[in-house]
């Protein structure tokens, strides 16, 4: 028996594995709505079971696929389920699933352009197209695909540092005459804080700007904080606005923040990881007006574009900034494309060897087209509006105001904003029932709320009615 048999499998065995894969994937797509949304949470049981898989005796390939599929069925929150009203995790597009299989098989290596010209140019094309959708000028768009929004935000922080504080590249923060300082709100995604920590500028670099009654960045406070920080010798260099916050779908006042950033010489980053989907609909686009003035944008295709995880995009209006931030010269990477008008992704982004992230976005876009996505996104927004209405009718108090399909609410008699315990009790009842998944959050750092988001392009009014029923039970 050749030693690679367990790695490659015979043609006959591969055929059997493909059939089993198709059977379990099609079965999952057809039946996911009949499953419990949430799994039992028992780490000991899982570890005990896995401990028995010592790899001493090879398992049959078909049996292995079945085992993994059964285990996933029994032990995950089913984000593609109709009753999952969650954290921007979509039901994946079918073409996204197909593209991921294709990419796994062809295994294009996206470090060097010359290793995968087609996959690299697909990503360049998508970034160009998305940049135009966001309103950037076609002749200056650049960007990179990322693992997700967190990496895109991290990339934004690094490019802002490189652009505004060039000494940082050589000497780190020790080369700077003061504390580099950036501005977020309590509702910004925490990946920005994490990026500050791991990039070495530290948590002290973070200034949390208060929000207004709609959980949007307070402009007067932002200006005031920039002035007082300068007076203290700090170096303001970046403001991060969010277009569609994780908690409430709020959109910071982008035009006004752009004005302040431009006047003050700060890099203006817009985290549109989820809300960027609004750019695909002429009616929703106005909700994120001002995004076109950003120096850089985070957009997650694995959120509102519903491709399988992970697919983040960092887009910028500064064509040279990624190279200035990430360029590396070394003796071992391929030189096959020297002299051509290309960029090597390894010298243009945080990652090095990586898969062709953009392919699942490309195939989904090719097959659904702009119109398919517009319809899906507008349908989800309509379902969000319906959920808002139904919750109000059922006696819940809706707290947020956004055209995006995300609703935050509390029982009508919930009068103490800091009382998260009673909110968590409702959420836990729902989650433990296995009938639906919603979450809790704290808006603007002070208002506890239940949070439900339409994350699925398939969600119908009957699903929303069912959620209201489960919440009210
Ligand atoms: C507004 C926002 N930005 C960034 C992120 C991080 O994205 P990811 O989880 O894809 O890394 C999220 C995640 O939900 C988000 O909601």
Rounded to the nearest whole angstrom, what is the distance from the C-alpha of residue 455 to the centroid of ligand 1? 14
Residue 208 has pLDDT above 90, yes or no: yes
- Mapped to the 3 state alphabet, what secondary structure does 26-54 carry? HHHHHHHHHCCCCCCCCHHHHHHHHHCCC
Q: What is the pLDDT of residues 399-455, one digit of tens each?
A: 999 999 999 999 999 999 999 999 999 999 999 999 999 999 999 889 999 999 999
Phi, psi of 375 (to 5 degrees): -60, -45
Q: What is the pLDDT of residues 70-98, one digit of tens each?
A: 999 999 999 999 999 999 999 999 999 99
With beta carbons less than 8 A apart as the criterion, state whether 208 and 466 touch. Answer: no
Predicted confidence at residue 1, as pLDDT, reads 47
Rounded to the nearest whole angstrom, what is the distance from the C-alpha of residue 192 to the centroid of ligand 1? 10
SS3 367: helix
Rounded to the nearest whole angstrom, what is the distance from the C-alpha of residue 90 to the centroid of ligand 1? 13
Rounded to the nearest whole angstrom, what is the distance from the C-alpha of residue 386 to the centroid of ligand 1? 25
| Ligand 1 nearest-atom number relative to CA 151 | 11
Which residue bears the tokens 């010489």? 265
* Residue among 157, 198, 273 to mutate when testing ligand 1 (max atoms within 8 A of CB): 273
Distance CA(426)–CA(410), nearest Å, equals 10
Q: What is the pLDDT of residues 256-310, one digit of tens each?
A: 999 999 999 999 999 999 999 999 999 999 999 999 999 999 999 999 999 999 9
Give the closest residue (by CA) to ligand 1 atom 5: 149
SS3 388: helix
Distance CA(297)–CA(294), nearest Å, equals 6
Rounded to the nearest whole angstrom, what is the distance from the C-alpha of residue 123 to the centroid of ligand 1? 20
Q: What is the pLDDT of residues 90-119, one digit of tens each?
A: 999 999 999 999 999 999 999 999 999 999
Strands 206-209 and 180-185: parallel
Distance CA(203)–CA(190), nearest Å, equals 11
Distance CA(458)–CA(334), nearest Å, equals 45
* Residue among 191, 194, 216 to mutate when testing ligand 1 (max atoms within 8 A of CB): 191
Helix axes 358-393, 94-106, angle to 10 degrees: 150
Residue range 16-42: mean pLDDT, rounded: 96
* Residue among 87, 145, 150, 298 to mutate when testing ligand 1 (max atoms within 8 A of CB): 150
Residue 68 has pLDDT above 80, yes or no: yes
Rounded to the nearest whole angstrom, what is the distance from the C-alpha of residue 406 to the centroid of ligand 1? 15
Q: What is the pLDDT of residues 306-353, one digit of tens each?
A: 999 999 999 999 999 999 999 999 999 999 999 999 999 999 999 999
Give the closest residue (by CA) to ligand 1 atom 16: 246
Give the closest residue (by CA) to ligand 1 atom 4: 149
Distance CA(338)–CA(343), nearest Å, equals 10
Q: Output DSSP code: residue 248.
A: T
Rounded percentage of the chain residues whose pLDDT exceeds 70: 99
- Ligand 1 pocket, residues with Cβ under 6 angstroms: 87-88, 148-150, 153, 189, 191, 242, 246, 271, 273-274, 300, 312
Q: How many CB atoms lie within 10 A of CB 217?
A: 28
Residues pairing with 447 in the sheet: 443
Predicted confidence at residue 11, as pLDDT, reads 96
Residue 2 has pLDDT above 90, yes or no: no
From the list 117, 35, 135, 127, the residue with the least C-alpha distance to 78 is 35
Rounded to the nearest whole angstrom, what is the distance from the C-alpha of residue 335 to the centroid of ligand 1? 35
DSSP string of 135-194, one letter each residue: T--GGG-EEEEESSHHHHHHHHHHHHHHHH-THHHHHGGGGSSS-EEEEEETTS-THHHH
Residue range 455-470: mean pLDDT, rounded: 95
Give the closest residue (by CA) to ligand 1 atom 8: 149
| Token digits of residue 377 | 């996104």
Which residue bears the tokens 């009938």? 435
Residues 6+ apart with CB under 8 A from 435: 36, 37, 83, 470
Q: Confirm whether pTM is higher than 0.85.
A: yes
Residue spans of beta strands (DSSP E) within 262-338: 267-271, 296-300, 312-316
| Token digits of residue 53 | 């898989």
Predicted confidence at residue 473, as pLDDT, reads 67
Predicted confidence at residue 5, as pLDDT, reads 81
* Residue among 190, 246, 311 to mutate when testing ligand 1 (max atoms within 8 A of CB): 246
Helix (H) or strand (E) holding 220: helix 219-231
Rounded to the nearest whole angstrom, what is the distance from the C-alpha of residue 191 to the centroid of ligand 1? 7
- Mapped to the 3 state alphabet, what secondary structure does 273-292 carry? CCHHHHHHCCCCHHHHCCHH
What does the mean pLDDT of the chain come to? 96
CA angle 281, 285, 291 (to 5 degrees): 135
Strands 447-453 and 439-443: antiparallel
């Amino acid at each position: 028996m050749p030693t690679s048999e367990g790695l490659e499998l015979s043609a006959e065995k591969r055929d059997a594995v493909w059939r089993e894969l198709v059977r379990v994937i099609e079965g999952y797509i057809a039946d996911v709505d009949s499953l419990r949304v949430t799994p039992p949470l028992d780490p000991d049981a899982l570890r005990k079971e896995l401990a028995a898989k010592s790899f001493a005796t090879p398992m049959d390939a078909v049996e292995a696929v079945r085992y993994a599929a059964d285990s996933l069925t029994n032990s995950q929150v089913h984000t593609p389920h109709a009753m999952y009203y969650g954290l921007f995790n979509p039901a994946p597009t079918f073409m996204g699933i197909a593209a991921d299989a294709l990419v796994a098989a062809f295994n294009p290596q996206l470090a060097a352009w010359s290793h995968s010209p087609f996959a690299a140019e697909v990503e360049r094309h998508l970034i160009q197209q998305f940049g135009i959708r966001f309103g950037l000028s076609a002749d200056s768009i650049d960007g990179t695909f990322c693992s997700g929004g967190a990496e895109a935000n991290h990339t934004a922080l690094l490019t802002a540092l490189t652009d505004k504080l060039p000494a940082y590249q050589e000497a780190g923060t020790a080369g700077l005459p003061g504390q580099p300082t950036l501005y977020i709100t309590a509702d910004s995604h925490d990946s920005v804080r994490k990026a500050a920590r791991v990039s070495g500028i530290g948590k002290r670099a973070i200034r949390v700007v208060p929000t207004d009654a709609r959980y949007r960045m307070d402009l007067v406070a932002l200006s005031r904080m920039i002035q007082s920080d300068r007076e203290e010798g700090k170096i303001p260099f970046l403001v991060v606005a969010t277009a569609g916050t994780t908690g409430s779908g709020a959109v910071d006042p982008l035009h006004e923040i752009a004005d302040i950033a431009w006047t003050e010489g700060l890099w203006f980053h817009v985290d549109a990881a989820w809300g960027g989907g609004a750019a695909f609909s002429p009616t929703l686009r106005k909700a994120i007006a001002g995004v076109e003035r950003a120096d850089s944008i985070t957009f997650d295709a694995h959120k509102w574009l519903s491709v399988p995880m992970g697919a983040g995009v960092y887009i910028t209006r500064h064509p040279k900034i990624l190279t200035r931030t990430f360029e590396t010269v070394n003796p071992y990477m391929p030189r096959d494309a020297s002299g051509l008008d290309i960029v090597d992704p390894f010298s243009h982004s945080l990652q090095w060897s990586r898969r062709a992230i953009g392919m699942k976005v490309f195939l989904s876009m090719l097959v659904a087209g702009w119109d398919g996505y517009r319809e899906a996104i507008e349908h989800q927004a309509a379902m969000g509006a319906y959920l808002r209405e139904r919750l109000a009718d059922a006696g819940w108090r809706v707290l947020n105001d956004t055209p995006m399909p995300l609703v935050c609410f509390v029982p009508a008699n919930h009068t103490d904003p800091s009382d998260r315990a009673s909110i968590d009790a409702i959420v836990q009842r729902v989650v433990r029932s296995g009938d639906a998944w919603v979450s809790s959050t704290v808006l603007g750092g002070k208002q506890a709320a239940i949070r439900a988001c339409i994350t699925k392009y398939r969600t119908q009014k009957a699903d929303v009615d069912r959620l209201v029923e489960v919440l009210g039970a």
